[in-house]
Amino acid sequence: MDEGQSFHSFLTSLPDRVDQVASFHFFPPRRATAVPDYDGPYADHLRTLGLVPYRHQALAFEVIAGGSDLVVATPTASGKSLVFQLPVIDASLSGGTSVMLYPTKALAQDQLGRLRDVAAALAVDGGAGHGASAIDTYDGDTPAELRVRVREGTRCVLTNPDMLHYGILPYHERWAGFLGRLTFLVIDELHAYRGVLGSHVANVVRRLLRMARRYGADPVVIAASATVGNPGEHGTRLTGRPNVVVSEDDAPSGPREFIVWRPPLLDGGERRRSANAEAAGLAAEFTRAGLRSIFFCNSRKSAELVRRYASQQLDPVEQLRIQSYRAGYTAEDRRLLESGFKNGDITTLTATSALELGMDIGGVDAVVMVGYPGSKMALWQRAGRAGRSGRRSLALLVPAADPLDEYYLNHPDLLVDGPVESAVADPFNSVIHPLHLACAAAEAPLARDEGLIAPWVDLEAVPGLVETRHGFEHRGRYPHRRVSIRGTGGTTVRLKDGTGTTLGTSDFAAALRDLHPGAVYLHKGETYVVADLDLERGIARLLPHIEDYYTQPRSETDIEVIAVGGPPSRALADGVMSEPPAGVHVGTVLVRHTVTGYVRKRYFTEAVLEERFLDLPEVSYQTQALWFEPHDLDGGPPLADMPGALHALEHTLIQLLPAFVLCERADIGGVSYPSYPATGSSAVFIYDGYPGGVGYARAGAAVFDAWLRAARDLLARCPCTAGCPRCVLSPKCGNGNQTLDKAAALVLATAFATRLAAGSPGRLSA
């Protein structure tokens, strides 16, 4: 690539790259808006560091010094870290303490060095309590012999929600001195705490603030987030407290190009070249050109395949300059990769999100996303890794064969100009919240009127709680162990190999789906076949799998409506959830799910080798759902076509929900009924895939009009004839994508959208 040449010009000049640019957007360079005469809070520290704050940083410092909670939600490389580093170090110098919460241990370790460097530059004498020794991590990797020293001698602790829940709050008496001086709680990567994890973290954070108050402290919360649609509201859901949002970005930015890349059509226009193959060709070209680039892939397998396919197009010397980076590598290997990328020995990395959360690997010329990363928030966070040196940079999206990718391939303007998704978390989830109340009561007696408690909770009904003259106390064994911060609790199944070594764990429902006898299971890049699933002991026994096939489960799901409507939980009712349109309902449902069998399929050809039946227990749970009954529609599909129309529209809606609500497609489920037993009418249900629900269905109902229109437009634009992975096929379908009718689904979506626009109500299920 020539000096001064645009990335658009470079890409369109490549051989065999005709009509590949589906969309091009240029962001001109932006000069910083700084405050050169700043003399507000922390000004002395800034002068010591030789820094002039950007305007948004100066505003953030004023908010913090005024004692208000803060959420700073600005793009990558906008100086968010400095906003909390200076207050935390300043508090440490004056005897205060801070907790800094990170979603992973690796990210906390990565941030530790940076914070210590700033602290060392600001410390007058560098002695104990005034420099790097006052800052340390406290997590599962902290040796037992060092934990007392960290607890008693550290002013700033970097940790994660898991350690806060399991290793700090249950032993708060040992932390009394630290908690009594708690000045700041920093929640970095706020946007990562959503869904089930967000519901857990909201409870953990509120319990921490409760313990701090118990010991006489009232810390200010400083949260940093990528750009989301509701940063302040999401911060309030996690902390239970109001905050001030700073979202204007006054940092400088170099010229940036954003391109949506169109993989060419194959097989007469029915199928596109795979995103992996297309990205590999680009990776080879970028490596030859010496462009420092990261190819973000959505799975470990994809990251390895893109590197392998690209290497096959390069000579032996060039092959050394492209490497893959993902979870599962040793810490030593990952440090070597990071060092090689920084010094230029490696110019191209094919990576998973293991490289995404704030890891410092230096400036990058280009970021390529191999498949849409699931949300606009994630897309722009990854794109922000490029151009940190102020030079011209590129962000490029290679859409995969997926409805959400296809939607944005056809509407690329929405990626640049459309609203960013809102984060969803429900601290008052009906399953998760009582578990944390038991933990809170074990930490200190609960009073009936505490703000920690959801208004609908009957404390007498929470297992383990007993009312005493001090309040509600927990009687029984340590309740914290029964709470899985990364799940919904319940039975855990351990994965063991042939030697009896534990490889990992799975929750009960996932084990029935993915670890049934005969299932082919991928774990850390290795393929296993499940020899046995012992549900009583909670053990799945895995053996190495070398045969040329994989498995897909077959399942049946039924829905029973428990309650229609009703007020949303207080956390979701803070002025954000509008009512669904007439004919779309929200309520509590009972989901019954049974894995009935599985099929063996040949790799690559997808040929079905055999189908086997299973006798496994039913999984049932209450959750939140939305549903609609598109009966008696003017212009709707014929009655005979309704089963396929409903099923196909259900798939398309589920695949598109992440365009409107910040969720993963695996977080939601759906069922369609040509004749729902309770009413006799056709019905489509879309539900939260977690007991109690976390707010996805309710959030989807609030934007249902736009969501349905997006599904209609995708069905109309997809060039396939009978349905394909870009519109109606789903890899998660319980019956293997049988009974799908794309054409009828388009007719159904169009007719139902017309009814909703006219405000005609539908029948109310009960």
Q: Got the DSSP string for 339-405? A: HHHHHTS--EEEE-GGGTSS------SEEEEES--SSHHHHHHHHTTS-TTSS-EEEEEE--SSHHH
User: What is the distance between the alpha carbons of residues 434 and 462, in angstroms, rounded to a whole number?
Assistant: 6
Which spans in 25-79 are helix H? 43-49, 55-65
8-state DSSP, 166? I
Asked if 196 and 326 sit in the same domain, the reply is no
Assess contact for 698 and 644: CB atoms under 8 A: no
What does the CA dihedral 120, 121, 123, 124 come to, rounded to 10 degrees? 130
Distance CA 378, CA 381 (A): 5
Taking the C-alpha atoms of residue 751 and residue 354, their distance in angstroms, rounded to an integer, is 44
Distance separating alpha carbons of residues 659 and 453, to the nearest angstrom: 32
34 belongs to a structural domain: no
443: in domain: no
Q: Which domain holds residue 469?
A: 432-438+448-482
What separation, in Å, do the N-terminal and C-terminal C-alpha atoms of the chain show?
A: 64
Q: Which residues pair with 598 in a beta bridge?
A: 553, 612
Residue 193 per-residue DSSP state: -
Report whether 424 contacts 727 (CB < 8 A): no
Q: Are residues 227 and 320 in the same domain?
A: no
Nearest to 593 by CA among 657, 484, 511, 704: 511
Answer with the one of 246, 274, 291 that is the final residue of a domain: 246
Q: Which residues pair with 539 in a beta bridge?
A: 494, 534
Residue 377: inside a domain: yes
Report DSSP state, residue 591: E
- Residue 133 backbone zone (phi > 0: left; psi -120 to 50: alpha; other: beta): alpha
Contact assessment for residue 169 and residue 204, using Cβ atoms and an 8 Å cutoff: yes
* Integer Cα distance of 237 and 348 in angstroms: 39
We report the CATH number of the domain holding residue 66 as 3.40.50.300
Partners of 66 in the β-ladder:
none
Contact 668, 689 (CB under 8 A): yes
Kindly state whether residues 743 and 640 are assigned to the same domain. yes
Q: CA-based diameter of the chain, in Å?
A: 82
The continuous run of DSSP H or E covering 656 comes out as helix 642-656
Is 763 part of a structural domain of the chain? Answer: no
Domain termination site, one of 246, 272, 292: 246
- Asked if residue 749 and residue 625 are part of one domain, the reply reads yes
- End position of a domain, from candidates 246, 265, 293: 246
Do 82 and 158 have their domain in common? yes
Whose tokens are 């989807």? That residue is 700
Task: Judge if 477 and 531 occupy the same domain.
Answer: no
Answer yes or no: is 425 within a domain. no
Cα separation of 58 and 430, whole Å? 41
**Cα(43)–Cα(659) distance, rounded to whole angstroms?**
42
Instruction: Kindly give the interhelix angle for 80-93 and 55-65, rounded to the nearest 10 degrees.
Output: 40
37: in domain? no
- Listing DSSP states for 502-556 in one string gives EEEEEEHHHHHHHSSTT-EEEETTEEEEEEEEETTTTEEEEEE--SSEEEEEEEE
- Please report the pLDDT score of residue 355 as a whole number: 66
**Segment holding 595, helix H or strand E:** strand 584-602
Query: Token pair 């959830």 is at which residue?
Result: 577
CB 175 within 8 A of CB 210: no
Q: Which residue in 310, 250, 258, 308 sits closest to 280, CA to CA?
A: 310
Query: Do 621 and 660 share a domain, yes or no?
Result: yes
What are the percentages of helix, strand and coil residues in the chain, rounded to 5? Answer: 35, 25, 40
Query: CA–CA distance from 6 to each of 2, 256, 261, 349, 655 (Å)?
Result: 9, 10, 16, 21, 35
Burial label for 718, CB within 10 Å (0-12, 13-18, 19+), is buried
Phi, psi at 59, each rounded to 5°: -65, -40
pTM of the predicted model as reported, rounded to 2 decimal places: 0.85
Instruction: Please tell me the number of Cα atoms within 13 Å of 386 on its side-chain side.
Output: 28
In this structure, are 204 and 269 located in the same domain?
no
CA angle (269 as vertex; 267, 275 as ends), nearest 5: 80
Q: Are 509 and 691 in contact (CB under 8 A)?
A: no
Given a cut of 50, the residues of the chain with pLDDT beneath it are 124-132, 358, 567-576, 762-766
Residue 38 lies in a domain: no
Are 496 and 628 found together in one domain?
no
The torsion angle over the Cα atoms of residues 59, 64, 68 and 71, rounded to 10 degrees, is 70
Same domain, 556 and 538: no
Q: CA neighbours within 13 Å on the CB side: how many for 379?
A: 28
Count up the domains in the chain and report the number. Answer: 5
Contact between residue 660 and residue 706 where contact means Cβ atoms under 8 Å apart: yes
Same domain, 660 and 690: yes
CATH at 508: 2.40.10
Q: How far apart are CA 689 and CA 591, in angstroms?
A: 9
Helix axes 704-717, 742-758, angle to 10 degrees: 150
DSSP bridge partners of 244 = 70
Task: Compute the distance between CA of residue 698 and CA of residue 690 in angstroms, rounded to an integer.
Answer: 14
295 plus 349 within the same structural domain? yes
Let me know if residue 1 belongs to a domain: no
Instruction: Please report the pLDDT score of residue 504 as a whole number.
Output: 80
| Helical pair 105-122 and 80-93, crossing angle rounded to 10 deg | 60
- Asked if 466 and 445 count as a contact pair (C-beta separation under 8 A), the reply is no
Question: What would the two tokens of residue 531 be?
Answer: 């020899």
Query: How far apart are the C-alpha atoms of 47 and 443, rounded to whole Å?
Result: 43
CA 235, 157, 79 angle in degrees (round to 5)? 55
With beta carbons less than 8 A apart as the criterion, state whether 252 and 28 touch: no
Residue-by-residue DSSP string for 244-273: EEE----S-B--EEEEEE-PPEEGGGTEEP
Q: What is the pLDDT of residue 487?
A: 65
What six digits make up the tokens of 446?
A: 């609960």
Left (φ > 0), alpha (ψ -120 to 50) or beta: where does 634 sit? beta
Distances in whole angstroms, Cα of residue 474 to Cα of each of 127, 483, 489, 748: 43, 15, 18, 53
CB atoms within 10 A of CB 29: 13
Q: Write the burial class of residue 486 (CB in 10 Å: 0-12 exposed, 13-18 middle, 19+ buried).
A: exposed
**pLDDT at 431 (0 to 100):** 87
